[in-house]
Chains A and B, each alone.
Chain A
Amino acid sequence: MAGARPETNGGGADLVLRSLTKRFGDFTAVDDLDLVVGRGEFFALLGPSGCGKTTTLRMVAGLEQPTAGRILLGEQEVTGLRPHRRPVNTVFQSYALFPHLDVFENVAFGLRRRRVRDVKAQVEQMLGLVELTGFVRRRPGQLSGGQQQRVALARALINRPQVLLLDEPLGALDLKLRRQMQIELKRIQTDVGITFVHVTHDQEEAMTMADTIAVMRGGVIEQLGSPAELYEFPATTFVANFLGQSNLVPATVADPVGDSLVVDVGGERLGVPRARARAVKGRVLVGVRPEKVYVSAAGEEDTAGNCLRGGRVSDVSFTGVSTQYLVAMPWGQELMVFEQNTGARTAFAPGTAVDLHWAREHTFVLDGAQDIHAGDETYAERTAAGVASPGPASAGTVT
């Protein structure tokens, strides 16, 4: 597990998890988890299905009892409290709107249970916030998916919880609506200033909205930090592949001394700033993001940065915003390059001999003992389908 115990950003801790563990029989869903979420933060728990993120959320809500560990909301210990006694509210994955109640009564449900006064004014104000004024007497069954999502959000938010829990809240929406709701959710969170803990498997969604992301895998936090930190300097191959895409190339450390680490990839020397190296000796993985790489015709350019020569374009795909190249390297691996379509030059044709260039400070080095394909969902699908993958599958040394 990488990443030290996180510090909160000024406002104090709103949610603290200490050594939280949940076992279902022999299966450990959440393993000795420590986490601090700061007040007013938009916090995302990101990970593939089965990584324990939803179980963690359900333990905070009180819908699941932890096997071990503690949960604190601010100063208050809530570990043993029943769900209805906790100052948290949840936006459920399938919304779980009450089908027998109309929009108004769904939203008013929590207020009525707490016998709050001026329910009507509060509900109307909240429906205004989520832009559902005029739908008060509709039943959930008469609403679209996006509208149901807003009702679910309003129903939870109206109670002004100390922490709002969102369990894959946008999972059931189509892509366009999801983008729109991401912006909307972020706006609402900024407006109300409540701490949001958002569970998702969609890395783009997490990066768009969250101040801090915890990447979970196998019941533990793999890395924690701001979206930019995680993206620019992933701690593990899993994070490197799960958040966006990465080129990871097996290498050996040739010179561990000095400010810059020198690694050897098939005879070519690459430099890496020491601060961007997670491992400094033996077999390592050298990484660079595809959009950081510049592709040139073979031998044409000579930059001061890192350079891998002898590539051949094996595939070109035009996506409008960018052109995506797959470049076959001499040791059999295929590397990705995303080039923005500025129109400054024409695309390289498949078969062209090319070199790859990038800046040293965009390089990172990871421990070579890890699975090079961890967190790479397209690779997992390909291998599961029995299709042989191009390039070497293991993180061996390239000679």
Chain B
Amino acid sequence: MPFVMPKDTYAGKVNTLTFGSEDKAVTIGGENGLPFLSFESIIPNRPLIALEIQDVAPSDWPDTVRTVYDGVSDSPAKWARFCQDSLGAKIVALRLTGTHPDRENRSAEDAVKTVTEVLSAIDVPLMILGSGHTEKDAQVLKAAAEAAKGRECILGKAQEENYKTIVTAAIANNHKLIAMSQLDVNLAKQLNILITQMGFNKDNIIMDPMSSALGYGIEYTYSVMERIRQAALVQNDPMMQTPLLCDIGPNVWKTKESAAPESELPEWGSLEERGIVWESVTASTMIMAGCNLLVMRHPKAIEAVNKLVSELI
């Protein structure tokens, strides 16, 4: 008797989301099945990776990833152009770390200046990320959204505490939006409902389940993403059908494995390799759980993940 591959069909489909301008615009999402199950579903767009840059020099990054950007990371515009021209980035993610009140406490006007400079340095799509301070992000992202009008950026992250201001700014300036909740499927759905009730098109939302790094709670992120995808595809829940974002850099490069020097832990092997592997494996795990867009730091890790995606897709 010939073997017949059992196939599932899914009721729902992940939204397709295009961002950036003109011929450099990119598209994510659109799959109608679970990650990489191409024998029973259609995966029109591969997961993409954005390279992270910051508005201030990355003094808190471990040497192994900081030195990659030596000579360019003192200027966000130079850094962005380096990512686009030398590293071939398809997307750049600018994190406005320096606006955090506990960091340089840069103003919204400073952020506008940085965004404007970066946008004139590159033509690939830009993601604009706040510092993660919900109150300050509302001011900073509002101003940044206006400065980036016309470039269809991804703006984030909107959270329960600050989404109203950021959503309004995204609507007014025609940007896409990251909706982030903290490892909770029900709150993730609720936030998406609240955002759409403000008149924001659900097709322009990308959901951040809150990423963690390998060995530091990644299984929670994985489970939440699995549940989101089940709701989207099996239960056809329109509020859960947004593409998924995993912003892994800050967590990966804070782990002991990516930062502890060889002199302290010789048995762990090459520090440089460790960091790259940590970021690659974290990223690979996230794409297995259905991630559509990653934000990463090390170009060698990105290369490894892109290779894996090409083999899987």
* B is bound to A: no
